[in-house]
Amino acid sequence: MSEPLDAALARVTAHVLDPERLVRAVASGRRRGERPQWRRVELRYVDLRAGRALQVTAYDDSQAHTANHPVGDAATGALASLLAEPFGNWHVDTATETHQLRVTKKGDAVVHTNPREAPAMVDFEHDREKSRLLPEDDPVFRVLGLADEQGRIKPSRQGKYRQVEEFLRILDSGITDALAAGHLRRPTADDPLRIVDLGCGNAYLTLAANRYLTAVRELPVLVVGVDRRAQPRWTDPAVTEAVGAPTCFVEGTIGDAVVDPAPEVVLALHACDTATDEALARAVEWGAPLVLAAPCCHHDLAAQLRRTPPPSPNSLLTRSGILRERLADTLTDAVRGALLRTRGYRVEVMQFVESKHTPRNTLLRATLTGARDSGVGEEYAALVAQWGVHPRLAELLDEQSPADA
C-alpha cells in the first residue's frame, strides 16, 4: 500500500542514522522523468581513527566516489542531501530487518519491511570496504544471468560474482602496475590493449573484464574469448549492448586457436587441469607481458605421483589420496611459477578468493620483465627429479624452444 513519500523517507532517515543497527543502505534507480546525480549510492558506518563515520560510496557511470561523514551533523547533512535526490528505490538493511522503499509513478512510497531470519552483524571495519569494481546492478551481470531484473546478484550466483570481481581486482592492479612500470604499452583507440581469455566458457570473466576496462577504466581494449565449445551467449546482441563494446570469440582449443595479432594480456580462469598449462605456454609463445591464471583441478601431477610414488621419506606425503591431491596442487603451481620465471616472468602467487568460497583460489600473476632468475632453472630441475614428475608445461615449452628449457 502506498503512503506519503515524506513519511517513508523519515523512517529511512531514522534507520540510516542509527549506527548501532544499520548494516547497509543502498539508493538506486530514478523517479519518473527525473535523474539523480548518482547512479547508485551505498551507505554504511565505519570506524576511523577520528571516530565513527557514515561512509557514502556514490557511483556515477564510470567510477565510485567514497566520502566519510562523522556521525552527527555531518552524517545527517550528507544523508539529507541524498534523500533529496530523486532516487527511485531505497533499500535499508538493519541488524534485524530489511526495508525496501519504492517510489511510485505518482510520487508516493511503497515500503516492504521484512524481519531477518537471523540478526545480522553490524561491521564497522573500515578496510572491509572495498568498493565494487563493477556494482551488482551493472547491466553486464543481468545479461550474464548473475543478477536479477532489479540488479541484485542471485543468491545462487554470489560465488561466481565474487570470483569475477576478485579476478578483475587483480587484473586491474596488474594492468596499472604493468603500465606504470612500462611492461605494458599505453593503449590507444587505434591500437587497443589486446586481451585474451583462454577457456572462457560462458564468458563471465571475458565480458566483465571488457565491461570494466572499457566503461569504468575507459581503457581501449580488444577482448577475445577462446573455448573449445561455443556458447550461445557469444553471439547474443544484448550482451554486446550491456558491455557497451564488442567482444570477439574463437571456437577452438587453447593450444591451437588462432588469435591474431598476438594478445598482450592472457587470462585463464579455471581452465581444466592441463588446459592451464596450455594457456601459460601460449602466453609465453606470444610474449604476453601480463598473464593471470587461476588454475583449476590438478589431475596430471596427482596421477603421476600415484603411478610412481616418490622415494622415502617423500612417499609419506603421497600415500594418502587427499594429501597427494593437495601436494600435487602445490607442486603443479610451484613448477608453473618456476618455468615462467625461467622465461623472464616475475611471478606472484596469490589467493584471489577466500578459501571458504572455493579451494581453487590460487592465482598466478606473471609479468614479463625480461629479468631471468639465474638459479631457478637448476632448482626446478632438482624439484621435478626429486618427485619424479614430468610437468605438462615443461613439455609444451620444450616443444616451443628446446634450447631454452
| Smallest separation (angstroms) from ligand SAM to the CB of 267 | 8
From candidates 89, 240, 253, 358, binder to ligand SAM by CB under 6 A: 253
From candidates 136, 278, 300, 325, binder to ligand SAM by CB under 6 A: 278
CB-based contact 288:266 (threshold 8 Å): yes
- Residue with Cβ nearer ligand SAM (166 or 227): 227
C-alpha cell, 89: 528505490
The HSE-up count of residue 166 (CA atoms within 13 Å, CB side) is: 20
Instruction: Rule CB under 6 A: say whether 272 interacts with ligand SAM.
Output: yes
For 268-296, letters b (16+ CB in 10 Å) and e give: bbbbebbbbbbbbbbbbebebbbbbbbbb
φ, ψ at 58 (rounded to 5°): -110, 130
Place of cell 622465461: 343
| Smallest separation (angstroms) from ligand SAM to the CB of 283 | 14
Q: What's the rounded Cα separation, in Å, for the pair 139 and 157?
A: 15
Instruction: Rule CB under 6 A: say whether 69 interacts with ligand SAM.
Output: no
CB-based contact 78:56 (threshold 8 Å): yes
Instruction: Rule CB under 6 A: say whether 296 interacts with ligand SAM.
Output: yes
From candidates 204, 212, 249, 345, binder to ligand SAM by CB under 6 A: 204
From candidates 165, 166, 227, 325, binder to ligand SAM by CB under 6 A: 227
- Residue with Cβ nearer ligand SAM (179 or 296): 296
C-alpha cell, 169: 581486482
Instruction: Rule CB under 6 A: say whether 337 interacts with ligand SAM.
Output: no
Instruction: Rule CB under 6 A: say whether 211 interacts with ligand SAM.
Output: no
Q: β-strands 97-103, 89-94: how paired?
A: antiparallel
Q: What's the rounded Cα separation, in Å, for the pair 215 and 219?
A: 8
Q: β-strands 2-3, 22-28: how paired?
A: unpaired
Longest dimension (CA), the chain: 79
From candidates 29, 135, 151, 201, binder to ligand SAM by CB under 6 A: 201
CB-based contact 351:292 (threshold 8 Å): no
Instruction: Rule CB under 6 A: say whether 282 interacts with ligand SAM.
Output: no
Instruction: Rule CB under 6 A: say whether 208 interacts with ligand SAM.
Output: no
Of 223-231, 238-246, 319-327, 387-395: span binding ligand SAM (CB under 6 A) = 223-231
The enclosing H or E element of 98 equals: strand 97-103
From candidates 46, 221, 275, 288, binder to ligand SAM by CB under 6 A: 275
| Smallest separation (angstroms) from ligand SAM to the CB of 296 | 6
Residues in the interface with ligand SAM (CB under 6 A) total 18
| Residue numbers at the binding site for ligand SAM (CB under 6 A) | 199-202, 204-205, 227-229, 253-254, 269-272, 275, 278, 296
